[in-house]
Every structure is written in C-alpha cells, then in structure tokens.
Structure 1
Amino acid sequence: MRLNEITFTDAKPVEGYGPGFFRVGGEVVHGPMIIGPEGPQSWGGYSDADALLVLAGTVDVLFVGTGAEIAHLPSDLRAALEEAGLGVEVMASPAACRTYNVLLSEGRRIALALIPV
C-alpha cells in the first residue's frame, strides 16, 4: 500500500496565548480570532456569525474556544452553524488551541474560533 501525504490547508498552529492575545505563525493577534484554511484573522465574537459561516464546506469541524472557562454558545449562533453543516465543538480556549494543533498536525480539515483568556 502506498501512502501519500495530503495537505488541506496552509493554516499555522497556535504558538501561544495570554490575556487578550494569541500568537499564530509568529504574529500576535489581539482579541477574538478565527484560524481557517486562509490563516488567522480577527473575529467580532459571537455576534459575527457570518465570519464563521463562510467556513462551511471548507472544514469538517469548527472548534470554538470560549475563553478561560467553557461556556455555552448563544443558541442562535449554534443553530446557524449546525444548519450550515459545520460540526461545532465548544471548549475553553486553552483546550481548543491544543486540540486544534493536534488535529492540524494530522492534516484534518478544521478551523478554530477563539475568545481570549
């Protein structure tokens, strides 16, 4: 059997985080952010559903980091994401960063939306 390495994205792993920021690909992003197939970008938070909905069809799972503690997503946001066909996994931001990094290293089709700690 021959195995070929497949790369689905040019996204970079999360290298670090702290109060109000994340470091991705050597760059610091302040405030909420998204990392999708196109790389990191600022995000408007839970009220910015459109920035997440554009990921439908390009990723299989969206990890949502809710800050220092796990919290529920607003029900209208969760419903819109699920209706668009996005698998959504909610966890605290540190856990979301770790999970994203592991699955990214496996070449999975994933994205990450984060609220800072």
Structure 2
Amino acid sequence: MRMNEISFGEARPVDGYGPGFFRVGGEVFEGPVLCLPDGVRAWGGLEDAGALVALAGALDVLLIGTGADMAPLPVELRRVLEAADLPLEPMGSPSAARTYNVLLAEGRRVGAALLPV
C-alpha cells in the first residue's frame, strides 16, 4: 500500500483536544475555536453568531461541535444561520474535529466551530 503525506496548505488540522482546549496545527487554544481554511482563531461560542454568519458563501459546510456530546443548536442561532444560507452540520466536538480533518484533507472548503469538551 502506498502512503501519501497530506498537505493542508494554510489550513491547520485539529491535532487533539481535552477539557477546555484544542490543539490545532501544534498550537493550543483555550476555549471555543473557529477552524477555517485560512487559519484558526478564538470564537465566542454559540452566542457569537456574527462570526459564523460572516462565513456564508465562503464554505461548503460549517461543522458545529457542540461539546462532548451532540446537542441541538439554540433555536435562534439555527434560524440566523439558516437565514444566512450557511450549510451547517451540528455534532459533538470530537466528531466535528475528525470530520473537519477528513474534509480538509480532501480539499473541501470546510470550517469547524468547536466548543470544548
């Protein structure tokens, strides 16, 4: 079997996570993070809809990691994101991190808004 090294370009994959933090591209981020094809930054959590709405049209899909387990998005947040025509997939943060890495490796325009576990 032939092994190929994956190149993520400017994007950085999620390397790991733990209580209250994510390690993305070798750098540790405390609290919620927004992982995008052009980099990683702190995110204000589910109350920070504006940061997510700003991504409309720039992504094929936005994965929303809801913490340790899958949980429904707040109704108002879902309404705002759907009105912005932002394709979203809520799931637990561990699943969102893994899915983000796979889609990133495929060259997809993917983002992940992750709440810590």
If the length of structure 2 is used for normalisation, what is the TM-score? 0.90
Alpha-carbon offset, residue 26 of structure 1: 1.2
If the length of structure 1 is used for normalisation, what is the TM-score? 0.90
1:45-56 matches, cutoff 5 A: 45-56=45-56
User: Which ranges of 4 or more aligned residues in structure 1 deviate by more than 2 Å?
Assistant: 7-10
User: 2:98 and 2:67 mapped to 1: Cα distance?
Assistant: 13
1:3 aligns to what? Answer: none
What amino acid does structure 2 have at the position aligned with 1:30?
E
Contact 2:8 2:104 in 1 (8 A): no
Supply the RMSD in Å over aligned alpha carbons: 1.5
1:29 aligns to what? Answer: 29
Alpha-carbon offset, residue 37 of structure 1: 2.7
Alpha-carbon offset, residue 8 of structure 1: 9.5
Q: Tell me the percent identity.
A: 60
Residue segments in structure 2 that go unaligned for 5+ positions in a row = 1-6
1:85 matched to 2:85:
yes
Paired residue total: 111
Contact 2:100 2:110 in 1 (8 A): yes
Residue segments in structure 1 that go unaligned for 5+ positions in a row = 1-6
1:61 aligns to what? Answer: 61
1:18 aligns to what? Answer: 18
User: 1:15 and 1:65 mapped to 2: Cα distance?
Assistant: 15
2:4 aligns to what? Answer: none
Alpha-carbon offset, residue 38 of structure 1: 2.4
Q: Secondary structure at the match of 2:95?
A: helix
Q: Secondary structure at the match of 2:96?
A: helix
Q: Deviations over 1:31-87 (max 9, x none)?
A: 011012321111111110011111111101100000001100011111111111111
